[in-house]
């Protein structure tokens, strides 16, 4: 690690001043937040080149301009420093050789780039192994190879995941050996193998890895390790990335993917049963802390002359456990969605069998009834309620592979790095995970899902709370009817 003396003459804004950054994955959740914080926190940065491919008939420039016009960048726009003009879209794709960048653009960037942040990844847990290998493994290989031509490169930061070594219970801040050679794994998607054969060999490849996604991230870390003698590489490993704790706005999040989607479904009364681990916790880290750690890791790597790969884990595994469900449900009562389908009451169970039984009665039976009612009234939807639950359960089954295991994730390097920042940087680029108030964070996250992801305005909160109270009495009445029926049945058959 870098010494205290080494950082005493550096600040993060000063380090990035007059330097240009190359960012992949800028259209993703973490990438967008990174782009915003680099501009706002390091306003003297020279340029930020973002690798973007055209998609859905939109050019790279159009896609980036749409992102820059969102609420996320409001604070940057308010600074009135023409900071958005420093964002330069570069047409390309990490899955292509040379990142798909034209020879002319690559030549122009050769002496320009000082920091590369590789955030691009396929984070879809349900994607096939070939698809994940192409994006996460070959994409990393292509980015590393492209970066080798950069003559002024100071740091290459790879954003991995804290679960890249999910075959380990104790996860240290080091690069672990891969089960197979990463380059051998890349051949799996280049060879046209029958799907049945691929399905048969996947368990052998994964071993104790919980997901194909985490397996591919582990292989990508192997490529980072191999590149340590050629490039100034380091790795940032966040756990589940959740809403913001403080910035750009408390609770900010703009999507319903992963666990946040589960929380949103819970807030609407759609999900009523969760299978959980012994402690009932999820290792969720605020996105602003992940972003700030990534920015600090770039400076740390530029100062450190060691050829060893610096690894920074970002996890709450050493925090005192809090009852996420109770805090979230109480927060939902204070900040409910405008539209709900039932009163949000969730049962957390630690038994798979009990979870399946409750799931059948409280999810599938009700979904079948709802579909039947919709058919009878002539409002059959394109996607049935039962199909929606099927999709949700498939995603839940994948994510639970990580949640049901309680990992011991070390964050000593991350703690040390934070301590070595100047007081000003600690304030402006906070990533002190131990300083996060979990109760407050969950409450902010619930608000953020409503305000930013769902786009529901605060002035509608009184009506939403009144609607919540109405559904509470429906909920209590339903339990009254249930107990009445049970009592009558007992008397009838006694």
Query: What's the mean pLDDT in 412-418?
Result: 96
In whole numbers, what is the pLDDT of the chain averaged over residues? 89
Length of the chain: 494
Q: Are residues 287 and 377 in the same domain?
A: no
Instruction: Inform me whether the pLDDT recorded for 293 exceeds 80.
Output: yes
Whether the Cβ atoms of residue 132 and residue 213 lie closer than 8 Å to each other: yes
Does residue 270 sit within a domain? no
pLDDT in tens, 416-448: 999 999 999 999 999 999 999 988 999 999 999
pLDDT in tens, 172-208: 999 999 988 998 888 776 667 676 777 777 778 888 8
Does residue 306 sit within a domain? yes
Query: What's the mean pLDDT in 455-460?
Result: 94
Closest CA to 362 of 384, 381, 349, 347: 347
d(CA 142, CA 175): 20
Q: Are residues 147 and 170 in the same domain?
A: yes
d(CA 336, CA 293): 32
Q: Which residue has the higher pLDDT, 55 or 31?
A: 31
Whether the Cβ atoms of residue 48 and residue 38 lie closer than 8 Å to each other: yes
Q: Tell me the H-state helices in 377-419.
A: 385-403, 412-419
CATH code for position 148: 3.40.50.720
Q: Are residues 460 and 373 in the same domain?
A: yes
> In 10 A of CB 173, how many CB atoms?
19
Q: Quote the pLDDT of residue 161.
A: 96
Instruction: Inform me whether the pLDDT recorded for 1 exceeds 80.
Output: no
Instruction: Inform me whether the pLDDT recorded for 2 exceeds 60.
Output: no
Q: Are residues 28 and 98 in the same domain?
A: yes
Instruction: Inform me whether the pLDDT recorded for 415 exceeds 50.
Output: yes
Whether the Cβ atoms of residue 162 and residue 296 lie closer than 8 Å to each other: no
Q: Quote the pLDDT of residue 278.
A: 58
Q: Are residues 287 and 364 in the same domain?
A: no
Q: Are residues 84 and 232 in the same domain?
A: yes
455 Cβ contact list (under 8 Å, min separation 6): none
Give the domain extent around 68.
Answer: 4-239+283-317+406-421
Does residue 55 sit within a domain? yes
Instruction: Inform me whether the pLDDT recorded for 458 exceeds 70.
Output: yes
Structure tokens at 433: 């995970």
- DSSP conformation class of 17: B
Closest CA to 297 of 116, 424, 140, 136: 116
Whether the Cβ atoms of residue 337 and residue 454 lie closer than 8 Å to each other: yes
Residues of the chain above pLDDT 90, percent: 59
Query: What's the mean pLDDT in 457-476?
Result: 93
To which residue do tokens 């390097």 refer?
413
Q: Band of the pLDDT at 80, cuts 50, 70, 90? A: confident
The segment with the largest mean pLDDT, out of 228-242, 276-290, 353-367, is 228-242
Q: Quote the pLDDT of residue 279.
A: 59
Q: Band of the pLDDT at 66, cuts 50, 70, 90? A: very high
d(CA 433, CA 236): 14
312 Cβ contact list (under 8 Å, min separation 6): 173, 234, 235, 236, 237, 293, 297, 411, 413, 414, 417
Report how far apart, in Å, the C-alpha atoms of 475 and of each of 32, 158, 344, 480 are: 40, 48, 9, 9
Q: Are residues 456 and 355 in the same domain?
A: yes
Q: Quote the pLDDT of residue 96.
A: 95
Q: Band of the pLDDT at 5, cuts 50, 70, 90? A: very low
Q: Are residues 235 and 329 in the same domain?
A: no
Whole-prediction pTM: 0.91
Report how far apart, in Å, the C-alpha atoms of 31 and of each of 120, 201, 232 are: 8, 33, 20
pLDDT in tens, 338-382: 998 888 888 888 777 888 888 888 888 888 887 888 788 887 777
Instruction: Inform me whether the pLDDT recorded for 90 exceeds 90.
Output: yes
SS3 59: coil
Q: Are residues 348 and 299 in the same domain?
A: no
Does residue 434 sit within a domain? no
Report how far apart, in Å, the C-alpha atoms of 410 and of each of 237, 319, 461 are: 11, 11, 40
Instruction: Inform me whether the pLDDT recorded for 4 exceeds 50.
Output: no
Q: Are residues 305 and 381 in the same domain?
A: no
Does residue 252 sit within a domain? no
Helix or strand run (H / E) with residue 129: helix 129-132
Domain count within the chain: 2
Does residue 441 sit within a domain? no
Instruction: Inform me whether the pLDDT recorded for 311 exceeds 70.
Output: yes
Does residue 430 sit within a domain? no
Does residue 259 sit within a domain? no
Q: Are residues 462 and 474 in the same domain?
A: yes
Q: Are residues 54 and 194 in the same domain?
A: yes
């Amino acid at each position: 690690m870098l010494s205290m003396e080494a950082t005493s003459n550096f600040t993060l804004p000063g380090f990035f001043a007059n330097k240009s950054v190359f960012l992949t994955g800028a259209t993703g959740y973490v990438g967008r937040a990174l782009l915003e914080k680099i501009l706002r926190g390091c306003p003297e940065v020279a340029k930020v080149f973002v690798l973007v491919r055209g998609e859905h008939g939109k050019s790279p420039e159009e896609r980036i301009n749409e992102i820059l016009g969102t609420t996320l960048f409001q604070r940057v726009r308010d600074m009135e420093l023409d900071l958005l003009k420093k964002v330069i879209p570069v047409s390309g794709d990490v899955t292509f050789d040379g990142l798909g960048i034209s020879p002319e653009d690559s030549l122009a960037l050769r002496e320009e780039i000082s920091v590369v942040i590789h955030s691009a990844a396929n984070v879809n847990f349900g994607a096939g192994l070939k698809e994940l290998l192409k994006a996460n493994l070959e994409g990393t290989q292509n980015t590393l190879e492209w970066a080798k031509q950069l003559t002024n490169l100071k740091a290459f930061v790879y954003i991995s995941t804290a679960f890249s070594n999910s075959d380990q219970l104790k996860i240290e801040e080091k690069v672990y050996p891969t089960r197979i050679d990463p380059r051998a794994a890349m051949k799996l998607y280049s060879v046209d193998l029958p799907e049945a054969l691929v399905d048969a060999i996947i368990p052998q490849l994964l071993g104790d890895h919980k997901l194909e996604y985490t397996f591919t991230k582990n292989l990508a870390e192997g490529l980072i390790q191999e590149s340590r003698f050629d490039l100034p590489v380091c790795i940032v490993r966040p756990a589940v990335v959740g809403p913001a704790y403080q910035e750009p706005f408390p609770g900010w999040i703009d999507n319903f993917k992963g666990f946040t989607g589960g929380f949103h479904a819970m807030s609407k009364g759609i999900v009523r049963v969760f299978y959980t681990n012994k402690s009932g916790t999820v290792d969720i880290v605020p996105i602003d802390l992940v972003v700030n750690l990534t920015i600090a890791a770039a400076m740390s790597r530029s100062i450190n002359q060691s050829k060893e790969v610096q690894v920074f884990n970002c996890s709450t595994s050493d925090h005192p456990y809090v009852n996420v469900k109770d805090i979230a449900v109480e927060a939902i009562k204070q900040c409910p969605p405008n539209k709900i389908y039932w009163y949000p009451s969730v049962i957390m169970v630690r038994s798979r069998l009990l979870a399946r039984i409750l799931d059948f009665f409280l999810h599938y039976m009700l979904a079948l009834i709802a579909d039947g009612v919709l058919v009878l009234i002539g409002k059959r939807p394109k996607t049935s309620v039962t199909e929606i639950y099927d999709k949700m359960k498939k995603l839940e089954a994948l994510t639970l592979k990580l949640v049901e295991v309680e990992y011991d994730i070390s964050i000593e390097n991350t703690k040390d790095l934070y301590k070595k920042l100047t007081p000003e940087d600690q304030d402006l680029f906070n990533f002190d995970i131990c300083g996060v108030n979990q109760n407050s964070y969950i409450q902010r996250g619930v608000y953020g899902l409503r305000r930013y992801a769902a786009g529901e305005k605060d002035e509608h909160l009184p009506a939403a709370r009144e609607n919540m109270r109405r559904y509470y009495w429906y909920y209590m009445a339903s339990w009254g009817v249930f107990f009445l029926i049970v009592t009558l049945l007992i008397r009838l058959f006694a």
